[in-house]
Structure formats: C-alpha cells, structure tokens
Amino acid sequence: MPVRQILLAIVLVGIALVIPHFASDYHVSFLVQLFMMVALAQAWNLISGMTGYVSFGHAAFFGIGAYAGTLLLQAGSPWWLAILQAAGIAGLVSVPLGLLTLRLRGPYFAIAMLGLNEVGRIIATLWVDVTRGGNGITIEPATLPSLASNYYAMLLLAVMATALTAWVYYHRFGLELRAIREDEGAAEMVGVNTTRNKLTAFVLSALIPGAVGTVYAFYTSYVNPSSVFAPSLNIQMIVMVVLGGSGTVWGPVLGATLVTALREVLWANFPALHLAAVGGLLLLCVLFLPGGLLSIGQMRKRLRAELAKGSGGG
C-alpha cells in the first residue's frame, strides 16, 4: 500500500479517535452511522466489487448479527464478546450459504442473495418465541454499552474492514479475486482455486456485517425484522461502492461518506426525496461514471499523459 495512503489513514483515524471528546452527541451519532456504512460498503466490496459476485442481500448478515448479538447480550454475554460471537455466527451461516449460492453466476447469484435476505426477514418475523416477531426486541438499557463505546466499536470495525480490504487488494489473494471477477474460467485455467477463494471472500464479507449489525442493535437498543433485514440497506451498500469506486480500497470510504452525508441532509430537509436521491445517484454513476468517483483521478492522470505524449510528438 502506498505510504501516502497509509499516512492519510493514520491521520483520519487519529482525528476520529479524539472527536467524541469535544463533539456533540448528534455529531457522534452521525459518525457512528458513517462508520457503519464504511464497514458495510467494504464488506460488500469484497465479494461484489473485487470478486464480481454482485450481492443484493448482504443485509441478511447484518440482520443475523443484530439478532444474534442482541440475544447473546440478553443471555449474559459481555457486549464486546457478543459482537465477536455474532460475527462468528454470521460467518458460520455464510459457509453453507456460500457453498450453495456461489455456484450461481451473474443475476442468479444476485437474486439468490435477495431471496436470502427475505428468508432472514421472514424467519425473524415468524420465530416469535425467540425474536418476538414483528414487535422486535428492546434491549435493557443497563446492559448496553455507552454511545462512546458504540462509537469506538463501530470505528474499529470500519478501520478493520478497510484494512482488510487493503490487505486483500495488495495481496496475491486480491489479485486472484480480481482474476475471478474478470474471467472465472480463465482464472481456474491458470491455477486459481476459484471455489476456495470465492468462499473465503464471501465469509469475510459476512463476518463484517455480522459484527456491524450487533453494534447497530446496541446503538439503537432495538431490533426488529424490517429494520435489520432492510432491502434499502442492500441498495445503499451497492450505491456507496459503485459511487465511490468498486473494487478499490478507498472507493467504499468515499461513497459511504457521500451517501451518509447526503442522507443526513435529505432526511432532515426532504424526507420524501431521500431514497429517490440515492437511486438517482446510482443511475447517474452507472451511466456516466462506471468506475466511480475515484476513477476521475485516474482519468485525469491518463488524459494528462495523453496530452504530454501529444505535445512531445508534435
């Protein structure tokens, strides 16, 4: 990873570490949501941006994590342990699901994942004895971590998810994932164990939402099926990554920041426009900037090189 990017990351994390000491609860809450979106975008980026398996249902792992963490907390687990356990459960669930769904390609995989999210929502709604159905579960305030603890937990998850993405991107594993995205058959023909790599990427991309879902449940102190298995969350994950730059390290961070900020502004001033604006953004991005906002920098660099070549030749 380039040194400049590492320094940028250290500065950003350093600023984030001190913010709760002087910012208002509103701003801290905004940042909790921002970190949540960064972590979720990075998770989606691993399986969809890097590997090319576009998931329309990653909120399923978020929901599994939210319920698992809440139930574990109620069963007496310390909050930090409940986060780890919930991530582990989401990861475990993802193994058989990955083995089944990763045989599918293109739209079939996307639809299977969309179905998975719906199955999760229906189970959470109907399994009333455990989940209290549509009423949801309100968590006892006494057992909940403080806002600052949620903030740092979510920050840690965003940093870990970004660090994991960077490690994958610059490691041989990431190169193999990108080869799978480009041409799975050709990748297998040059020695890439596609099944193992896809499954690893899928499990990693499920662990993160599992943990994030738990912290989200603690942050809101309430879970119900429609809030944690929300189709809109799936759409937001896609928009954030596509907007920022799919398959890159910083694209999901940039996309998550823009979408969360935009949502905050629109939610407060034009609530009816909120989701329409997110959809419009996605449409514009796919049509005019398929490489995401990060590709503008690359396009400028390429244009400058072309111009330099042109003036050198003429």
Partner 1 sequence: MAERADPILRTHDLHRDFGGVHALRGVDLQVRRGSITGLIGPNGSGKTTFFQVVSGVDRGASGEVWFDEQQILGLKPYEIYHRGLARTFQLSRVFPDLTVLENLVVAAHRHDAGARERALGLLERVKLQDYLQVRGENLSYGQQKLVEFLRVLMSEPSLILLDEPAAGVNPTLRQTLWDMVRHLNALGTTFLVIEHNMEVIADLCTEVYVLSDGEIVTHGDFAAIRNDERVLEAYFGKARIPVAEHGSDAHA
Q: Which of 55, 71, 215 is nearest to 132 (CA)?
A: 71
Residues in CB range of 203: below 8 A, 6 or more apart: 91, 94, 95, 98
Smallest gap from Cβ 65 to partner 1, in A, equals 32
**Which of 53/218 has CB closer to partner 1?**
53
Smallest gap from Cβ 260 to partner 1, in A, equals 28
Place of tokens 């199955």: 119
CB count, 10 Å around CB of 65? 34
**Which of 19/99 has CB closer to partner 1?**
99
**Which of 90/184 has CB closer to partner 1?**
184
Contact 214, 137 (CB under 8 A): no
**Which of 75/189 has CB closer to partner 1?**
189
**Which of 194/227 has CB closer to partner 1?**
194
Smallest gap from Cβ 176 to partner 1, in A, equals 6
**Which of 205/246 has CB closer to partner 1?**
246
Contact 157, 211 (CB under 8 A): yes
Q: How far apart are CA 147 and CA 155, in angstroms?
A: 12
**Which of 4/172 has CB closer to partner 1?**
172
Q: Which residues bind partner 1 (CB under 8 A)?
A: 172, 175-176, 178-179, 181-183, 185-194
Nearest 5°: CA angle at 13, between 141 and 157?
Answer: 50
CB count, 10 Å around CB of 126? 12
Smallest gap from Cβ 11 to partner 1, in A, equals 28
- 180: which 2 tokens? 């799978």
Place of tokens 């000491």: 21
Spell out the SS3 assignment of 258-295: HHHHHHHHHHHHCHHHHHHHHHHHHHHHHHHCCCCCHH
**Residue 248, φ and ψ in degrees, nearest 5:** -110, 175
Smallest gap from Cβ 192 to partner 1, in A, equals 6
Residue 279 CA, distance from chain mean position? 18
Smallest gap from Cβ 153 to partner 1, in A, equals 35
- 142: which 2 tokens? 């006494």
Smallest gap from Cβ 193 to partner 1, in A, equals 5
